[in-house]
Amino acid sequence: MGLLRIHFTADDLARTTIAATADPLWELLLSRFRLHDRDKSLTLRPWIHRLHENRALLARAEPGIRWLSALAPAAPYFPDFLTPAAARDGLGPGLAALRSTPRARLAHELRRFARHAPVPDWAVPLARGDDATIAQVTAALNAYHEVAIAPHQQLIQAALDAERAKRVRHLLDGGVEELLASMRPLMRWRSPVLEVDYSVDRDLHLDGRGLRLVPSFFCRRVPVAPADPELPPTLIYPLAPEFRWKPAEHAPAPLKALIGGTRAAVLHAIDVGATTTELARRTGISPAAASRHTTVLREAGLISSQRHGPAVLHVLTALGRDVLQHG
């Protein structure tokens, strides 16, 4: 296990942000890793089974999996052109940026990649900037997204919304430094350096550019960042385990206890996060009653509760947000 040391200045702290959505090209790349994990995550098993058990879906996804397996294997490096910064605005802008990658950059990054893993013969034309090959790559990645990611987008976004709500609460209460401190155990804030568990040892100096934190549904174990330090500083990190929807763990029995207008009002009032006292004030009930309702909601898997200083902060889980949206 390595360590990524991210060096902040005062300007960097002021320019650090949390993404509201996942980066679609990072999710594509990271999801490919999850398909080949030996110890399959319980959270992702239904996703993996759906893809593998439907031959038609798998056939549409296979070209994208083939490209990602070739260009982003389990190695210390993979080319940054696969995850252009433009993807922060969506899959379309990201694929457009990938298609327009300068030939010199393609050649440079693939030469660097070849020092860590072999480039298959059928992928060599990509290093020359062959237009037809680049079109094949983007078409394959787009098809893979349609099959493997898009059908689960609502679930993914609900999980990310819960994660972001938790982090934003820390940001509002204590600023960026408390936000960074809340990232333990994956990261440790030791001002002015953020130490991040990583696959290799490296230093990243932000130099006033700030850091963009991007939660990811498919990132696992350790965060990941672009290899080129000149690219916009971005850190893709796994969302907190409590926000991963584990359908097999949610028996229907606890959900029956949710029937009732007051408890539904408490669930709605949690929204982007609330303490027990805030819930009592928003719903017009006593703090003791609010505490009882949050206990039931937590046991049903609809909310997560963490101590936040002297108070307990309640946030929606992915399942809880899904129930609100479809209830």
Residues 270-303: tens digit of each pLDDT: 876 888 988 888 888 888 989 988 998 888 778 8
Peptide bond into 232 cis (omega under 30): no
* Residue where a domain terminates, one of 223, 242, 261: 242
Pairwise CA distance, residues 266 & 252, whole Å: 20
**Mean pLDDT in the chain?**
87
* Residue where a domain terminates, one of 187, 208, 242: 242
Q: Mean pLDDT across the stretch 75-100?
A: 95
SS3 195: strand
In this structure, are 44 and 139 located in the same domain? yes
CB atoms under 10 Å from CB of 139, counted, come to 15
Number of domains in the chain: 3
Which burial class, exposed, middle or buried, applies to 187 when counting CB atoms under 10 A from its CB (0-12, 13-18, 19+)?
buried
In this structure, are 78 and 161 located in the same domain? no
Give the rounded percent of residues in the chain with a pLDDT score beyond 70. Answer: 93
What is the dihedral sign for C-alpha 15, 21, 27, 31? Answer: positive
pLDDT digits (tens, 9 = 90+) for 201-221: 999 999 999 999 999 999 988
How many residues can be counted in the chain?
Answer: 327
In this structure, are 93 and 131 located in the same domain? yes
Pairwise CA distance, residues 290 & 287, whole Å: 5
Between these two residues, 159 and 16, which has the higher pLDDT value? 16
pLDDT digits (tens, 9 = 90+) for 242-254: 776 554 333 344 4
* Residue where a domain terminates, one of 208, 242, 276: 242
Pairwise CA distance, residues 129 & 101, whole Å: 8
| Domain that residue 276 falls in | 250-326
Q: Mean pLDDT across the stretch 234-243?
A: 87
Instruction: Round the CA-based radius of gyration of the chain to a whole number and report it.
Output: 21
pLDDT band at 312 (very low <50, low <70, confident <90, very high): confident
In this structure, are 74 and 160 located in the same domain? no
